[in-house]
Amino acid sequence: MSGPALLSIEDVVVELPTPRGNLRAVDHVDLSMAAGQALGIVGESGCGKTMLSRAILQLLPKKARLSGRVMFDGQDLVRLNPEALRKLRARGIAVVFQDPMTSLNPVLTIGTQLIETLQEHLGLDAAAARRRSAELLAAVGIPAPGQRLDQYPHQLSGGMRQRVAIAIALCCEPKLLIADEPTTALDVTIQAQILDLLAREQRRRHMAMILITHDLGVVAGRTDEVAVMYAGRVVERAPTRNLFKHMQMPYTAALLAAIPKLDAAPHTPLAAIPGRPPDPTRPLKGCSFAPRCRHVGEQCLREKPALTPADNQGHCYACFHPLEIAAGVST
């Protein structure tokens, strides 16, 4: 699926001053996606994927310094004036946060939180907004939507709350939806339902979606393209199928291997990745993954590898010692 890029992230760097030094959360990232495309961003905690999403949303903490361009629909969001940026929200870019218990206001009803968005951006009157809200709740699979509108978030279960958050995100028909670890705070049994809901809505509305997660298994079958991040950089990017079939990065392979498999024998030890991600206030000279990589070589310690294409189907990786792995993945 290609076409003119809806979202184009160009050489974005996000730095945060901390008492211990300058923290580089996002380190020269380039990404682009077309309208209607689903992109997965995968990485460990602290790899910068959330900061990247905040950079796109222009919701960074006040102290953060951002350089680079974030082009959305032909406009550079970084240089856009605040009022224009505000109008762009909900209709241009919408977001679903990780924990619906904290992302929904506990003292306002579900209805209020939906209706206010509709009234702000679509100019609906109260009655029309209320009708539309009930429709949205039904569309995301919430029973008795009319009643729910007058309830408070704490009266719903975790899965339902996230459905509400998704309804809020979708209510103004955004061109791009960013889902930041949408299922991490939910029960395992509900996770698949929510993810499927997201994927379904994405396809139905031809909406671009960025699905951020630490779990490679989540993006399989639900995204068109996957970008793997490590220590603030994109280290591998490929159409989803290709990624799983022809993994190039030792890190990606390690991520995949770390997923517990349903059909593995009992008591199979989890293949965890040894070591920890580098301290972001003290960036390494060479490849950031080098201290933990089994295939590490001389060059890896000296230089940072750049993203190089593996083939002409859009698969890139950043490694001096890429692998050729055919992984059998059960989605």
Partner 1 sequence: MLGFVARKLLHLLPVLLAVSLLTFLIASLLPGDLAYVILGDQATPDKVAALRHDMGLDQPIWWRYLGWLVQVLQGDFGRSFRTGQTVLQAVAERLPVSFELMLLAELGALVIGIPLAIACAVRAGSPFDRLVTGSAFGMLSVPAFLSAILLIYFFAVELRWLPATGFVPFSEDPLGNLRCFVLPALTLALGEWPVLMRVLRSDMIATLQEDYIAMARAKGLKPSRILLVHALKPSSLTLVTVTGINIGRLMGGTVIVESIFALPGIGRLLLGSIYTRDLIILQGVVLCVASGYVLINFIVDMLYAVLDPRIRHGHA
Partner 2 sequence: MATLELELAEEIVASPARRTRRLGMLFWAAIGWTVFVVAVAILAPVLPLPSPTDMDMLERRAPISALHWLGTDALGRDELARVAYGARISLTVGLFAPVIGLTIGGALGMLAGYFRGRFESFVVGSMDVLLAFPPLILALAVTAYLGQSVLNLTCILGVLGIPAFMRVARASTLTLARREFVIAAEALGATHARILIRELLPNVALPLLAFFLLGVAVTIVVEGALSFLGLGVPPPISSWGSMIGEGRESLEVAPMLAFVPAIAMFLTVLSFNLVGDTLRALTDPRQGAL
Provide the binding-site residues for partner 2, judged by CB under 8 A. 18-19, 61-63, 82, 85-86
The candidate with the shortest Cα–Cα distance to 67, out of 47, 75, 76, 278, is 76
Q: Which of residues 24-63 bind partner 1 (CB under 8 A)?
A: 57, 59
Q: Which of residues 211-240 bind partner 1 (CB under 8 A)?
A: none
- d(CA 148, CA 281) in angstroms, rounded, equals 46
Q: Which of residues 162-191 bind partner 1 (CB under 8 A)?
A: 165, 168
Q: Angle at CA 324, nearest 5°, toward 181 and 214?
A: 10
φ and ψ at 76, to 5 degrees?
Answer: -85, 110
- d(CA 127, CA 295) in angstroms, rounded, equals 62
Residue 105's binding partner among partner 2, partner 1, none (Cβ under 5 to 8 angstroms by kind) is: partner 1
Element (H, E) at 213: strand 208-213
Is residue 106 involved in binding partner 1 (CB under 8 A)?
A: yes
Q: Using only the alpha carbons of the chain, give its radius of gyration.
A: 20
Residues facing residue 328 across a β-bridge = none
Is residue 107 involved in binding partner 1 (CB under 8 A)?
A: yes
- d(CA 114, CA 136) in angstroms, rounded, equals 9
Choose the stretch contacting partner 1; rule: CB under 8 A; options: 9-17, 42-50, 87-95, 230-238: 87-95
What are the CA-CA distances from residue 89 to residues 7, 85, 238, 240, 260 (Å)?
Answer: 14, 7, 29, 28, 38
Tokens, residue 209: 């979606």
Q: How far is the CB of 218 from partner 2 (least distance, A)?
A: 30
Q: How far is the CB of 186 from partner 1 (least distance, A)?
A: 15
Nearer to partner 1, 59 or 270 (CB): 59
Q: Which of residues 120-149 bind partner 1 (CB under 8 A)?
A: 120-121
Nearer to partner 2, 250 or 280 (CB): 280
Residues 103 and 97 sit within 8 Å (Cβ to Cβ) = yes
Residue 90's binding partner among partner 1, partner 2, none (Cβ under 5 to 8 angstroms by kind) is: partner 1
Is residue 94 involved in binding partner 1 (CB under 8 A)?
A: yes
Residue 19's binding partner among partner 2, partner 1, none (Cβ under 5 to 8 angstroms by kind) is: partner 2
Name residues whose C-beta falls within 8 Å of residue 312's C-beta, 6 or more positions apart in sequence. none
Q: How far is the CB of 63 from partner 1 (least distance, A)?
A: 11
Applying CB under 8 A, among 55, 70, 104, 226 the residue interacting with partner 1 is 104
Torsion sign (Cα): 323, 326, 327, 331: positive
Residue 63's binding partner among partner 2, partner 1, none (Cβ under 5 to 8 angstroms by kind) is: partner 2
Q: How far is the CB of 98 from partner 2 (least distance, A)?
A: 18
Is residue 154 involved in binding partner 1 (CB under 8 A)?
A: no
Q: Which residues bind partner 1 (CB under 8 A)?
A: 57, 59, 86-91, 94-95, 97, 99, 102-108, 116-117, 120-121, 165, 168
